[in-house]
Amino acid sequence: MAAILGAAVPCISSRREARGRALTAAVVGALSLIAAVLAWLLVLSPSAAPRAGAPSARSALGASDIAGGSGGSGDASEALSRLAAASPRQQVEVIIQLRPDVSAAQGRALVRSLGGQPGFDLHIINGLSARLAAGAARRVASSPMVHAVSLNAAIRGTTLTDPTPWTLATSFDQSTGAAKLWSRSTGAGVGVAVIDTGISGDLPDFQTAQGSSTSRVIASAVVDPNATTADDTYGHGTAVAGLVAGNGWYRASGDPLFGQYAGTAPDANLISIKIADDAGQSTTLDAIYGLQFAVDHKDSYNIRVVNLSFRSTSAESYTTDPLDAAVEQAWFHGITVVAAAGNLGTASDAVSYAPGNDPYVITVGATDGQGTPSPADDVQASWSSRGVTQDGFSKPDVLAPGAHIVSTLAPGSSFAAACPTCVVGGAYFQLSGTSLAAPIISGIAADLLAAHPWWTPAMVKGAIVNTAIPLDGGGDEVRAMGAVSAGGGQLVSDQNLTPNRLIDPGTNSIDYNAASWTAASWTTAINSLAASWTAASWTCLACSSGADSGVSPTSASWTDLGWATNWG
């Protein structure tokens, strides 16, 4: 039933035939937002150790500073203690957890009393962020009002210590500002789920370091019951993954391809969620199950971002579209969702398809960067979808490079056969489409979350969208350095929106009593569905049989991909 996109397909778009699918029941409990956030913050400061004692610190605090104290004093993380001892005047950003009976206002007053600047209210952990001198931060930790203080740079990348952007053969890492951002964050520790056609996880670009045999594709799941392998036999997912987290500096130093191509988060982890069969065909229901895997396994793999470089082929209001319900569930569970806008240009229905028509998610259109590292000549690509959704929302939210992009090629995949002249250096592939623009934003989102772990999806979206720069001819293009420095009102987005009707306001999850399909459940994958490069492989239990689901089995379109054989 599955048609292969073969060499007969020219430079183009391909929509998939509708394919029915059925299900059986199995409901998986949803994670609560509180549990997820707390789990993450605990991971951040696992080494918080009893304070060695700072006898002079308490005396620096006024009476009001300890008014809410409940006995004892807080802990500074080991990293903060070391830094405070070595460089007490160095400005740092910290996460302060207050004791239960201490208010945020008292916390802010405490920070100010030590010459610091309070940051965000982190009410979910009864805390706040703050910027102040390391020595002062150490003294904050000594207050009886404080439970713990940890540095917010704990997961900065350590492996890519000397990125050399000038070796890159492509321009998007520089034009977006991602290459500059790498001196602060390379996405290390952040998991990006690529819901796509699979990832060739054993490529050197996905290693944890040069010479390592360990892959940063840390888990894989296969959702489509017709897939016979976890590998990417089609090619789309591997190209997308390379733009998120590929790293050409992990090739051997003598390799002529060393350091030529990299994604925007070259140390991030990837979670491959294959929702297509081996020929790249996928349905709406596959995508819904893929999103549910990301939510169900968020804590296991620290999934903070999902990339969706496809769209439904049936236009429906976001308030009722089941795929939009699934992306909102992920969003409300703390996962930043990035969706490709589509390649329909200014067509009347250009932005009317899930998931890009959902007002919460970050919908990404494409620019043509003209092959130069300066963004000054970048223009919105004529084929990049733009317009107003059927629900009245302007899309896309932001633009990123998407024309003549070179990324990782899945060995032996359909892509290579479809366009042999698009192959670059035997290991990469050049192509165009909003499918390529979306993962460039997903990688930048991972970098932002590594730098600011407590940012919510709405804050990540605000930072990216509100710091983007208008282009001549329309659209706003991402600027990574502006985004990482965003603060205040720039971090606000998604105000006053009404969720999809299938979202239960009590749980922020899909109400499976109201939905016409059931939740999936997961089992460890075996045989060919277990990816060779990762210890954790999963398959969907509830995806292969049963009666008609009621969910439109329309296929996902991988994008109206365009091959590009030269710089235009």
Which positions are annotated as active-site residues? 196, 236, 435
Is residue 238 within 8 Å of 302, Cβ to Cβ?
A: no
**Tokens 């004093």 found at:** 73
Amino acid in the structure at residue 198: G
Q: Which is nearer to Ca ion, 225 or 373 (CB)?
A: 373
The helix (H) or strand (E) run that includes residue 305 is strand 303-308
State the burial class of residue 423 (Cβ atoms within 10 Å of its Cβ: 0-12, 13-18, 19+).
Answer: middle
Q: Which is nearer to Ca ion, 78 or 377 (CB)?
A: 377
Is residue 343 within 8 Å of 383, Cβ to Cβ?
A: yes
Q: Which is nearer to Ca ion, 370 or 456 (CB)?
A: 370
User: What is the C-alpha to C-alpha distance for residues 226 and 281, in angstroms, rounded to an integer?
Assistant: 9
Q: How many chain residues are in contact with Ca ion, going by CB under 5 A?
A: 6
Q: Which is nearer to Ca ion, 286 or 368 (CB)?
A: 368
Give me the sign of the Cα torsion angle 58, 60, 62, 65: negative
- The site string for Ca ion over 159-198 (x = CB under 5 A, - otherwise) reads ----------------x-----------------------
Q: Which is nearer to Ca ion, 91 or 372 (CB)?
A: 372
Distance set, CA 251 to CA 212, 254, 257, 522 (Å):
10, 8, 7, 34
Residues pairing with 273 in the sheet: 195, 221
Q: Which is nearer to Ca ion, 68 or 369 (CB)?
A: 369
Q: Which is nearer to Ca ion, 152 or 170 (CB)?
A: 170
- The site string for Ca ion over 445-474 (x = CB under 5 A, - otherwise) reads ------------------------------
State the burial class of residue 43 (Cβ atoms within 10 Å of its Cβ: 0-12, 13-18, 19+).
Answer: middle
User: What is the C-alpha to C-alpha distance for residues 184 and 163, in angstroms, rounded to an integer?
Assistant: 11
- The site string for Ca ion over 319-358 (x = CB under 5 A, - otherwise) reads ----------------------------------------
Cβ 163 to Ca ion, closest distance in Å? 20
Cβ 373 to Ca ion, closest distance in Å? 6
Q: Which is nearer to Ca ion, 364 or 460 (CB)?
A: 364
CA dihedral 370, 372, 377, 379 (to 10 degrees): 40
Radius of gyration of the chain (CA): 23
Close Cβ partners of 202 (under 8 Å, ≥ 6 residues apart): 215, 532, 533
Helices 134-141 and 78-86: angle between axes, nearest 10 degrees: 130
Q: What tokens does 26 get?
A: 């199995």
C-alpha closest to that of 376 among 540, 143, 533, 171: 171
Q: Which of residues 354-393 bind Ca ion (CB under 5 A)?
A: 369-370, 372, 377-378
CB atoms within 10 A of CB 212: 12
Give me the sign of the Cα torsion angle 430, 432, 438, 441: positive
Alpha helices, H only, 386-512: 414-418, 434-451, 457-466, 480-484
Q: What tokens does 6 get?
A: 């073969």
User: What is the C-alpha to C-alpha distance for residues 151 and 133, in angstroms, rounded to an integer?
Assistant: 11
Q: Which is nearer to Ca ion, 286 or 378 (CB)?
A: 378
Q: Which is nearer to Ca ion, 175 or 336 (CB)?
A: 175
Q: Are strands 217-222 and 536-540 parallel, antiparallel or unpaired?
A: parallel
Alpha helices, H only, 192-321: 236-245, 284-296, 298-301
Cβ 547 to Ca ion, closest distance in Å? 52
Secondary structure (3-state) at 379: strand
Amino acid in the structure at residue 129: S
User: What is the C-alpha to C-alpha distance for residues 158 and 160, in angstroms, rounded to an integer?
Assistant: 6
Q: Which residues bind Ca ion (CB under 5 A)?
A: 175, 369-370, 372, 377-378
